[in-house]
Amino acid sequence: VAAPDLSGRHVVVSAGGTREPLDPVRFLGNRSSGKQGYALARTALARGARVTLIEANTGLPDPAGADIVRVGTAVQLREAVLKAAADADAVVMAAAVADFRPETYATGKIKKRDGHEPEPIALVRNPDILAEIAGGGTGERPRPGQVVVGFAAETDDVLANGRRKLRRKGCDLLVVNEVGERKTFGSEENEAVVLGADGTQTPVPHGPKDTLADLVWDLVVPRLDPSRR
Ligand code: PMT
């Protein structure tokens, strides 16, 4: 039985991948299944937390006891995270968020036209949710005392990119996992290094996503604000 070291705490976890619609039948998306985020929600529940799980397009069964919020796009995810984070002790952004969305949404299905080249798709930036809640490297948090954890999906130069990302976003912990078409996304297992803003570096060997999730909470617990309990 897990130690109830998150009892009395409210944690927010985002899971899955945002989808940015082009027209009523198509979207720009990514390969996140939501399994890592759900593992974080399950393990936090087992450790006594109140959990708000914000899920984007996972289709996974609801973990019993979590408050579930369903979203589709990055803009919707931002709104849900900011709302739930208002009284949260910790926020963990495991969702894979689209950095860009199509500039326009076609209300009818985009058709191919004989003899015409396809139209280019213009993209605009999505909000950076993690940077917004973590202060974006300014050292100022909208919610002081909140522990903010990001995930980084990297394909190369994993650690150097991770360190840069940790500083740029301003989070307390960044879980850097290597991803690829057949790696991490959708699988039952993960392998990562958890970087701390205090310079710590915790390697997590290849294993179940629940094990990585528990290790993330092990690192979150000592960083929680004792006066908020
Ligand atoms: O869902 P699974 O199949 O189990 O796979 C798990 C996972 C690989 C999706 C997960 O472990 C993971 O790495 N999630 C983060 C993926 C991601 O979006 O990485 P990123 O490097 O693009 O973003 C870094 C961090 O900023 C993430 O915490 C992300 O949630 C956040 N972000 C990114 C862009 C944006 N516009 N807003 C954000 O908040």
ipTM: 0.99
- 173 CB under 6 A from ligand 1? no
Could you count the other beta carbons within 10 Å of the beta carbon of residue 186? 12
pLDDT at 182: 80
Residue pLDDT, tens place only, 115-137 = 999 889 999 999 999 999 999 98
**Separation of CA 116 and ligand 1 centre (Å):** 37
Task: Give mean pLDDT, residues 38-56.
Answer: 98
Residue entry with tokens 């879980």: 175
Region 29-36: mean pLDDT is: 97
Distance CA 180, CA 174 (A): 19
Q: Is the CB of 152 under 6 A from ligand 1?
A: yes
SS3 call for 196: strand
pLDDT tens profile 196-210? 999 999 999 999 999
What is the CA(110)–ligand 1 centre distance, in A? 29
Percent of the chain clearing pLDDT 90 (strictly above): 88
Quick check: 1 pLDDT over 80? no
127 is in an annotated binding site: yes
pTM, rounded to two decimals? 0.97
Q: Is 126 a catalytic residue?
A: no
**Domains by residue range for the chain, with CATH:** 10-98+121-223 (3.40.50.10300)
151 is in an annotated binding site: yes
Q: Is the pLDDT of residue 155 over 90?
A: no
Provide the strand spans (E) within 30-128: 50-56, 67-71, 90-93, 100-102, 123-125
Which pLDDT does position 178 carry in this prediction? 83
Nearest protein Cα to ligand 1, atom 26: 130
Q: Which of 30, 57, 177, 190 is catalytic?
A: 30
Higher pLDDT pick, 80 / 178: 80
Q: Hey, whose CA ends up nearest to atom 37 of ligand 1?
A: 128
Residue 35 annotated as binding? no
Whose Cα sits closest to atom 13 in ligand 1?
153
Residues linked to residue 100 through DSSP beta bridges, in sequence order: 125
Give me the pLDDT at residue 217, please: 98
- Ligand 1 centroid from CA 154, angstroms: 9
Whether residue 166 is predicted with pLDDT greater than 90 in this model: the reply is: yes
